[in-house]
Structure 1
């Protein structure tokens, strides 16, 4: 479909008709994502079969079955070559087609089965037919919403349907070649345009088949989220691919100066691990934004410990933390009083009475660069907080929901009462940021944990006492300097699983 969103005229639709269409498209998108998840699961099953049973012929002796490693005979059961993978297979590792009486090895049979059941053949043919087009539902949705990102992110079918690019085999191919890029920025539209023109003399991605099916992927580091990823289409069987495709980001000039553009080249393997063919990184801190820069860049190998190995960038949260010791705090209002549970003192207190002990006061100021999960390139974020190990309603706090933004300002205060100085090394303040959804579950956008980071709480080992870096230092400053407000901007975690230091 060659028609773009800006060429599609839907002005004749009434408001309620637009809403009805958007609901249908939302359901279609959910079904599409569910199908992508199913295909991804089937591909993972294939990888497991491949890893468990596939052994390259050069790793074995000439008289062994490639699949089960059974020793083959000199006269009987000598084994035969599979026509598809050219591996020597014993009689037990074959699957015979009852109609044609032809056979495949167990791995090739599983590969064919998954190709049919996953619809991979359909996606492949559709990408050939509509290589530069958009899905029709996306065109309609983007036209109705008239969002800035809709005009800048017209991905190809190959980019939209790709689900397997993050599992790369970095050491498989020797990096070689160059990439020609034209990078420009528009102050008027706030759009960064990366024109990927061509590559020259790439490495061979598939040694066995001696071919390279190349595509280019970009991120605006340190953001490694799905929203930061852009991809070109796949150019089959060439080490000198010509793309001439523009990848765009909508980002303010002030934010762009703090980012680095990572451009990497990959070989696409439909049923295996994609192979890394090289990358370049362009820092924008001293970039000349007022001119188009077209240049050949030499592809570099992946460097361990580089910025790519960092946790995914999910944005930043700014808070002000203060501890007020017992006897120096004022009586809070009824809605500020938090009951001190049994894990602290084992005493029941009235919700209208100030519990004994000090008070931790947290001001949630705001966040920036949050992940945009809505179609229009925004989110509806709010912050939720618990004082662990108590994760029930007695310590639960929530800010209001800030609509249509990825840079919210809340200025909302969370108050936790009844804390003795000894409690401060055993509790942890967990803050999570969420996108508010009306008809489905809220979407996790990131989080932080403020605590001592000792791994223990009241003598018990716990996963959530894993504060590190600035999270831990902020909590320590609060303990060492009571009554003093301590402001800090913290990087949001991409997951609230136990941090591996």
Structure 2
């Protein structure tokens, strides 16, 4: 059956179906008697988890998904915690930690430097010294520095310097190293916190600094000073983004490939990966992505990737293909992609994106889900204006998706 169907649909494309071996599902589209709506009731033709699916197909119009040079990233001298371009109103670390962080009044500063080794794919955090930090016990402290590469708060992410006894001006000169891809740097936040080591009780918090690596000046390798800050509680509800999602999208009009194929327009969504998924507990999670082409929110429209376990930056490499489209339908439709966390038997939606024209209307009716951001609208519009070309993008997984009315 598959060989016959492949020859009918893809006889002019050498690479189109040779690579569709990972997962294949075939469903019939129900005829609802409404031509405009049935065009959106897309049948799932196939899904592919193979990276080579798009090699040699058509050129991509965007190179935004290529690995960036650290030196090309922005410069920031701000001490505030930022994530994916969104300023947080508190410490990101406060999402993952509980306890009393106000035992002593925070003061002093810390000196450190950041270097990224492209050959080793390694972030090197050198902690030089602290100066004039708070005293935890009778005009003294036994300080050490602890770091996390957030949003990963697992034991794998935790690094510590040695403890310096009875000093408010400790000198460390120690380098803490993280294995991390250069493409993930822009979505990570480095937390450096100073603690007093208490042998017989709880360690005492002395201050912290959070550095958005996406805004760091990677041309600067010299040590810098930053003032230590108190840990300000951050409400989970104030977070506007839970990470980034990297994908490519294209539309193939009907008959575009010649010979009358494809019979109807096809929408291809290639979900590559998500980066730095931020959850309240911190650490690696089990996640997948679910897609719908609205206004059709039926099971036929719904597709999802495989479940990727224990990762904050999961690679999906999964293609969703929808057919039944005319070009005019694209201005009335919306591709909704949501990133979900699987926690035992429960599923939690972390956030998502909506690719559409953002008009607030679909087929003449006002709809709440046509609420795309400017970035999302630009991606969708570029796809419409450039048929049969992959449009690459990296978008924030936003938490403010307007609920769909049933």
Question: Whose Rg is larger?
Answer: 1
> Comparing both structures, which one devotes a greater share of its residues to strand?
2
> Comparing both structures, which one devotes a greater share of its residues to helix?
1
Higher relative contact order (CA 8 A, sep 6+): 2
